[in-house]
Each structure stands twice: as C-alpha cells, then as structure tokens.
Amino acid sequence: MTRLNLTMGPLIFHWPADKKRDFWFRIADEAPVDTACIGETICSKRTPYFDDRQYEEVAQRLERGGKKVVWSTLCEVMIKGDSKIVARTSRRPDAEIEVNDASALWHLSGRPHRIGPAFNVYNSETMQYLARKGARHFCLGAELPAPTIAALGKTAAELNVGLEVQIFGRMSLALSARCYHARAHDRTKDDCRFVCENDPDGMELTTRSNTPFLSINGIQTLSHRYLNLAHELRDLAEMGVATFRLSPHSCDMVAVAGTYRALLDGKIDATEADELLVEHGVPQPMANGFFHQRPGLERVAPGPD
C-alpha cells in the first residue's frame, strides 16, 4: 500500500519573528510530517519581518530534519511589489514551488511545480491544462465536496500527478483587496500598523446575536471552526488522495501532527484522534460540512463502519 503523506502547510498568520522561527524549528526536529510549506502567502507587508535569509535558515533546518521543503507564493497580487515577491519566490533555483496565484505561472510554465489550495481547481479540464504547463501536484481547496474530490482523484491518477487535501485547521474562504483587520480597528490598509499580529489564530467575527461565525486574517476570511477530516481519511485515500495537509495554528502542532500520523498509520482510529485533539487544546466543535455537501461550519457525525 502506498504510504500516506502528511504536509504542514504555510503559516498564514502574522506571528512575531522569534515565535515563527521557533515554530518551524520545532516542526523540523519533532513533527512527523513529510513536507513543510514555507513563505508568506497572505500579505506582502509582512515579509520584512521574516525575510528570505530567515526562511533559508528554516528551510535548512527542515531539510536536516528529513522534511521536503516547498516554497509557497502569495495568494493575491495587488501591487508591483507583490509581483516582485512572487517572481523572486518562483525563480528560486532548485526549489519546489507551490503556486497560489496565476501570476506565478508565467515564471514556472514548463518547469515542474505544485498548485496550492488558493488556486481554484474545480474540474478536470483545469487540472489537465495546468498539468500540461508543468503542475505535478495539486492541493485542493477546503470547500470541495466529496464527489468533486473523487472526480479530480480519477483525473490526477490518469495524469500521474499528486493530490492533496487539507484535513485540519481553519479553512480559507475568501481573499479581498481590502484588509479587514485594519478596517475593524479604524485603520487603512496602508497604515494597518500590523494589527493582525494581535490575533495569532485570526480575529473572531460574530453574528449580531454574538455567535462566533468567521475569523479574519488580514485580507483573508477564514472559517471560525477548525476543519477535522479524521473520519473521512479512509474515503479520501480511496478517492486517490495520498497527501494530507495540516494548517498551522497556535495549538501544539507537533502533537496534532503526531495524532494524524498515528491515524494515517492505523495506530489509532478516528474517534481516538478526535479525543486527542481535544486534549491538545484544539478549539471545539470542529467541522467537516463541505466534504459532505453541507454548510462548511457543520459537523456531520460519522456513520457506522
């Protein structure tokens, strides 16, 4: 049986540089993941706080820890400076690049690369087109339901490309030209003063009845509930998904990775994994609605085995 792989996705939140460095060093040394995606994907204004030199140090540590390093591009290009950052990332020699915005394709066409979850791949025709341009691995968006994943799994097998799905963490729902974080604090995007740093897992957004609903991360809208597809892993594997992504948060991600690794290896079952996630301090309840063609915030109870 093909070994199922575990990926630590890029850190999407604005953490202090020392916290970010320590997080990645610990992932390198302790987390049972096969691949780690690094780089700023949300806001180019954050890049001076953790520059290329620091990412190189992280990449070297990850590689010494036996992890494959993938460099992820920005998810949105709005200004000339964004384009320069995407170009610099995409042109890294001998680096594996994950594309999150179409602007990177100009630099990578014909060169093997990955497609990230922010690049909408919703049908076989899109996957086929991107594969002809050099895409060798696809991480699908968290909003896709099981039938779509299954259809794309068949196409991926025909194309002999890798298929990946996020199974843990807040789900990215939308990107905007505006910075919601700045706006919520009566600031402009140009004068945000990096207020997003105050919310290490995103800023909670509630309904008028004060019910938590969404989370805000700068220009990004996230789900409030964390995704958990522990009970769906077997179905995903049968659909052709061989790589499973964890999105980093401020909980103990080494412990979270260990839980999903044990689940993938058959050492624990999904119910035990759920219990361990509670012990690790992951906010509850979690969600899996999109997979089951339900509203994404819902938690569909597992059926009988």
Domain count, the chain: 1
pLDDT at 240 exceeding the cut of 90 = yes
Give Cα separations from 82 to 49, 76, 86, 116, 240 (angstroms): 15, 8, 6, 17, 34
303 or 10, which is more confident: 10
> Which range among 46-50, 68-72, 76-80 has the greatest average pLDDT?
68-72
pLDDT at 137 exceeding the cut of 70 = yes
Task: Supply angle C-alpha 8, 281, 140, rounded to 5.
Answer: 30
Say what the pLDDT of residue 90 is. 94
Is 104 domain-assigned? yes
Q: Which range, of 22-26, 38-42, 183-187, averages the lowest pLDDT?
A: 183-187
Nearest to 226 by CA among 163, 142, 165: 142
Is 251 domain-assigned? yes
Is 12 domain-assigned? yes
User: pTM for the complete prediction?
Assistant: 0.96
Is 139 domain-assigned? yes
Structural domain range at position 38: 5-177+221-292
- The overall average pLDDT reported for the chain is 95
Angstrom distance (rounded) from CA 203 to CA 194: 13
276-296 confidence digits (pLDDT tens)? 999 999 999 999 999 999 999
CATH number, residue 235: 3.20.20.70
pLDDT at 1 exceeding the cut of 60 = no
164-190 confidence digits (pLDDT tens)? 999 999 999 999 999 989 999 999 988
What is the percent of the chain where pLDDT is above 70? 99
Say what the pLDDT of residue 287 is. 98
254-272 confidence digits (pLDDT tens)? 999 999 999 999 999 999 9
Is 136 domain-assigned? yes
Say what the pLDDT of residue 108 is. 92
